[in-house]
Amino acid sequence: MKQLLRSLFILLFVATSAMAQNRTITGTVTSAEDNLPIPGASVKVKEMPNIGTTTSADGKFSLNVPATAKTLVISYLGFSSVDVPIGSGAITVKLEQSSNTLSDVVITGYGNISRKTYAGASATVSANDVAKQTFGSFDQALQGAAAGVSVIANGGQPGQNAVVRIRGNGSISGSNTPLFIMDGIEISAADFQTMNQGDFESLEILKDAVSTSLYGSRGANGVVVITTKKGKAGQVQINYDVQVGRSKMPEDRLIVMNSQQKIDYEVNIRDNPYGWTPQEADEKRAVNFSWKDALFQTGQTQQHQISANGGTENTKFYASLSYLDQDGIVQTTGLKRYTARATVDNVVKNFKFGLSVQGGFSKRSNTFEGDAFVSSPLNAIRWSNPWETAYNPDGSFNQGTTGGVPNGRLSSGQPNGLMELLLNKNTGRQIKGLATSYLEYSIPSVDGLYLRTNWGIDYTQNERDEFTSPLTTVAFAKNGSLTRGMSRNFRYTGTTSLNYSNGFGKHQVGGGLFFETVKNDARSFNFTGYGFTNGFKNEAGITPGSATAANYIPLVSGTGGQNGLMSVFALANYGYDNKYFLNLSVRRDGSSKFGTGNRWANFGSIGAAWAISEEDFAKKITFISNLKLRASYGSTGNNATNNYPLDQFSAATYAGVGGFSPNVAGNPFLTWETNVSANIGVDFGFLKNRINGTVEVYNRKTKDLFFNVPVDPAAGGFDEIPSNFGSLRNRGIELSLNGDVFRSTTGVNWSVGANITYNKNEILELPADNTLDGDVGILSVGAPINSLFLVPYVGVDPANGHALYRKLDGTVTDLFDSADKIRFGTSDAPWIGGFSTRVAYKGFDLSAQLNFFSGREMFNSDLTNIANPDYYYDNLHVSLLNEWTPTNTKGDVPSSDLSGNNTFQTETSRFIDDASFWRLRNVTLGYTVPKSALARIGVRSARIFIQGQNLWTSTKFRGFDPEATGTVLQGQYPSLVQGSIGLTIGF
């Protein structure tokens, strides 16, 4: 009995001692602005970040912490985080709102790391700023948002994804598009049209080797990591967002002649080639039809989203539905999109589990614009004469005849652009499905050690229908056509890791071991049929042409292929005394895209950081809040090339017998492009981080470039072979600066932000003679990739009206010679940046975003098409009104010379435009209704706002939009000028 009592006493003592080692901390978190509770705020033990919880719907929390815990870190998105000492009583915390809060965490896609301990270069973009803009593709909202990130709108066609570049172009023949990761799996930029940016929680842009080497062979062009919204503990909250608006075409700076000017030009300068009588000429002067007004329209936009989230501390959910209907500014164009998303996260003892499913459908109605299409509607507004109309007086289309059959052409020979636009259809549909899940197990015997596996699938199906009416010029010869195509892509990603994070005294350690597989399976099918008896608006009644007529034989094609990536990698992080930090990573990738001897490659990085502001000598300088020096070095790769670039043959049929035909010169030695980069950065914050920012200097070199190297065809029948040859470099400097001009809990709050980037792109090595010829864009060692090479144009010879050119030896001649081309700049702006500001007072807020591109040159092919006097039968640029003639010897436009001695030339500097610009990207004025006024009607929150996008542009560029892509502008759909009003309401 005594032995039993003794055992019970010991057991009780041990249990009591164990309980004494832990204690429960309770508290409340509220907003300093209105004293209302903040649900979902993060509460973590500073010394042990893996111990934490979130606040409930009434802002309260309860957390069991070890006796050694000394400090809690309390944070919430949009508020400044605070460190709170753990005392004996309940904790009450008031969080201050701040638009310039230093992000506590860098989200890498493979985990999170404290920004204080991070040596890499990254930038956080506000998901709220992205969500509020009604772009059909969310990447357009990244313009001017982060240093080192260039975003070109790529036209205003609703749903069109932007051209995004991070720290310049790193490849000549391979892809320069950054890697987009959403919830741990790769997504394609072409799929953004079917995604709802209102579901995004955060966007992190990874730029240097420490940040991107985790992605190995996919990280060379930078990484954009998207994290979607998840549920928050507390009562169910429902939010509804709606926007309605209108859009219009931007200002047109490429001015063509009106009817008065064009008739005067043809009669007085071109010697009346049609032989019009004065009465006929006057009748045409009176028409003055606007092709621009006929083809463009005022677009309507509406966007709706409803979402719900809530749950307990152990089970949380988030769900949303959205709808977008956006008209284009060109008739018949637009985008409709439907999305749905559901997410659940669950915690059971040492296990965490999450599942997220989303689906979307989009339908795009496009034009047939393109560089080669003479009949493109966006070319028609330039070329069609203003004295010709789209319709006849009886309402029928204005068109001529060929052999007595209507041919869709105006009397000048140009296609009737409105007829082409209304009768031809170009429709694309996309179905998108994406699902991710994770399972995490915290190993109880070792603090901070856990296993995690994350799996995701991404399914994309694209369908396109292209109908060209036999009544229009584009399909007149083939009596109409119908093209149907479908492609399917299935990608799955699986990542399993063992992770560890803990602290020992002054030491903080963390890291992980990872195994990852990625597989892509793609299929496509296309069919084009010709020969319709009539112009049908749909499939009904379509009859294929005779198989004996060559033009009527249908075209059938299809493709299929797979590729895979297998990776093992590790990362390690170390910190000492909250002052000195080290980040390491190493990765080995194997890709099926290359030959068996070159499928595997190694990548890695090292980064170090010194928190100078934590040193005793720095703490004496009271205005310094944060000062950290960072440096990194490492390598990444680029495998963004075709699935099987080493294959030499493809299946073929000849005379009914199957076989193989040479496809491309094979190269089993083809391997990865390798990107080696170095980065030095300084993070700073002054006056309690009221002023904060970052300075970065980087050097990024790419070697073993993907290149089709020219070879002698006599050696093997091919004139080029896919190879790794050449190198290029990007060097630059980035500055980001944010500041709170006024900071108050009751008065005016005013914050400003700016970022500026300078990037120098330079080709270091090329095959052959260090140059590769092109029409306008020529690759040359020492020059940027997208450089313009043209013959210098110096003016007009007053004696004969001939165009004058400068030769390489400096002499001036009227004889054009393409060998005299020199470099005139690049279409990749070396200087880019953005500015933002926000003012708030008593519920009202006003914000604006501005971005710029500087030093950008563009070859204006749209201008060349309407500046050629030999095309007098089309409409022309107003500058030709000052064409040289024997009676106007001071004219500054060369005369037409049909003799051939001084013919019109396009590849000259005469048609280069300064495509630099400043653009007011967004202006928003909003009012948030006080929560005290809403409580009586059962509404949790409400905000109404109006906003405008692309409201003002300053540029010397002659055209609709300086945001053209590539080096040559021709017939591109311009960006939209938009205005909208919106309401956000929460229950």
Instruction: Say whether pLDDT at 424 is over 70.
Output: yes
Instruction: Yes or no: say if 563 and 592 are a contact pair by the CB < 8 Å rule.
Output: yes
Q: Report yes or no on 935 lying in a domain.
A: no
CA distance 141 to 143: 5
The alpha carbon torsion through 617, 620, 622, 625 (nearest 10 deg) reads 30
In angstroms, the CA 305 to CA 324 distance is 9
The answer to whether residue 14 sits within a structural domain is: yes
pLDDT at 383 over 70: yes
Residues 612-631 have pLDDT tens digits of: 999 999 999 999 999 999 99
Measure the CA–CA gap between 462 and 326, rounded to whole angstroms.
19
Q: Does pLDDT of 376 surpass 70?
A: no
pLDDT of amino acid 760? 97
The CATH number that applies at residue 24 is 2.60.40.10
Q: What is the pLDDT of residue 102?
A: 44
**880-916 burial, b if ≥16 CB within 10 A, otherwise e?**
bbebbeeebeebebbbbbeeeebebbbbbbbbbbbbb
Per-residue pLDDT at 583: 96
Find the range with the poorest average confidence among 387-391, 399-403, 766-770: 766-770
In the chain, the N- to C-terminal Cα span, in Å, equals: 64
By the 10 Å C-beta count (0-12 exposed, 13-18 middle, 19+ buried), 798 is classed as exposed
pLDDT at position 408 over 90: no
- Indicate left, alpha or beta for 952 from its phi (over 0: left) and psi (-120 to 50: alpha): beta
Question: Minimal CA–CA distance to 615: which of 583, 580, 574, 573?
Answer: 580
Question: In angstroms, rounded to a whole number, what is the distance separating the alpha carbons of residues 147 and 626?
Answer: 20
What region does 808 belong to: left with phi over 0, alpha with psi -120 to 50, or beta?
alpha
275-304 tens-digit pLDDT = 999 999 999 999 999 999 999 999 999 999
Please answer whether residues 926 and 943 qualify as being in contact, where contact means their C-beta atoms are separated by less than 8 angstroms. yes
Structure tokens at 271: 């010697």
**Tens digits of per-residue pLDDT, 130-173?**
888 888 888 888 888 999 999 998 878 898 888 999 999 999 88
Residue 16 binned pLDDT confidence (cut-offs 50, 70, 90): very low
The pLDDT score that the predictor gives to residue 773 is 64
| Residue of 569, 509, 348, 516 whose CA lies nearest to 442 | 348
Q: Give tens-digit pLDDT for 652-671.
A: 655 555 666 666 666 777 78
How many helices (DSSP H) and strands (DSSP E) are in the chain? 11, 54
Q: Cα–Cα distance between 106 and 312 in angstroms, integer?
A: 26
- For 357, the 3-state DSSP assignment is strand
Q: Please give the pLDDT value at position 656.
A: 53
Distance CA 220, CA 165 (A): 11
What confidence score (pLDDT) does residue 19 get?
Answer: 39
For the entire predicted model, the pTM comes to 0.86
The reply to whether 59 falls in a domain is yes
Query: Is residue 12 one of the residues assigned to a domain?
Result: yes
Task: Name the nearest CA neighbour of 835 among 901, 771, 911, 752.
Answer: 752
Phi, psi of 56, deg, nearest 5: -80, -175
Q: Is 288 exposed, middle or buried (0-12, 13-18, 19+ CB in 10 A)?
A: middle
Considering 349-358, 703-712, 868-877, the range whose residues carry the highest mean pLDDT is: 349-358
How large is the greatest C-alpha to C-alpha distance in the chain, in angstroms? Answer: 131
Res 640: pLDDT:
63
Mean pLDDT rounded to a whole number for the chain: 86
Domain assignment present for residue 18? The answer is yes
**Average pLDDT value for residue range 570-587:** 95
The dihedrals phi and psi of 436, each to the nearest 5 degrees, come to -135, 150
CA distance linking residue 510 with residue 450, whole number of Å: 11
Q: How many CB atoms lie within 10 A of CB 290?
A: 13
Q: Is 50 exceeded by the pLDDT of residue 459?
A: yes
pLDDT value of residue 549: 43
d(CA 280, CA 263): 10
Q: What is the mean pLDDT of residues 87-95?
A: 85
Alpha carbon of residue 351 to chain centroid: 36
What are the residues facing 955 on neighbouring strands? 917
Q: What is the pLDDT of residue 536?
A: 40
- Over the stretch 958-979, which tens digit does the pLDDT of each residue have? 988 888 777 666 677 888 899 9
Band of the pLDDT at 924, cuts 50, 70, 90?
A: very high
What's the one-letter identity of residue 687?
A: L
User: pLDDT class for 316, splitting at 50, 70, 90?
Assistant: very high
pLDDT for the residue 97 = 67
Q: Give the percent of the chain with pLDDT over 90.
A: 52
How high is the pLDDT of residue 945?
96
Q: What is the pLDDT of residues 900-911, one digit of tens each?
A: 566 888 899 999
DSSP letter for 269, please: I
Q: Is the pLDDT of residue 8 over 60?
A: no
Domain count along the chain: 1
Higher pLDDT, 649 or 262: 262
What average pLDDT does the segment 325-347 reach?
94
Q: Which residue has the higher pLDDT, 638 or 34?
A: 638
Residue 374: pLDDT above 80?
A: no
Domain residues for the domain of 50 are 2-95
How far out from the chain centre does Cα 330 lie? 23
Query: Residue 8, Cβ neighbours under 10 Å: how many?
Result: 10
- Listed in sequence order, the residues at least 6 apart from 183 whose beta carbon sits closer than 8 Å to its beta carbon are 226, 227, 228, 356, 436, 456
pLDDT of residue 262: 94
- The arithmetic mean of pLDDT across residues 214-238, rounded, is 90
Of residues 932 and 5, the one with the higher pLDDT is: 932
Does residue 798 sit within a domain? no
Query: How far apart (Å, rounded) are the C-alpha atoms in residues 64 and 643?
Result: 53
pLDDT over 90 at 392, yes or no = yes
Question: What pLDDT does residue 792 have?
Answer: 96
**Bigger pLDDT: 116 vs 729:** 729
Cβ contact 601:589 at 8 Å? yes
Q: Judge whether 539 lies within some domain.
A: no
Q: What mean pLDDT do residues 515-531 have?
A: 90
pLDDT surpasses 60 at 373: no
Among 708, 731, 730, CA closest to 720: 708
pLDDT score of 118 more than 80: yes
Q: Is residue 31 part of a domain?
A: yes
What is the average pLDDT across 249-267?
93
Which amino acid type is present at position 707? F
pLDDT confidence of residue 893: 93
Q: Which residue has the tokens 């005392």?
A: 87
What's the token pair of residue 564?
A: 């895979």
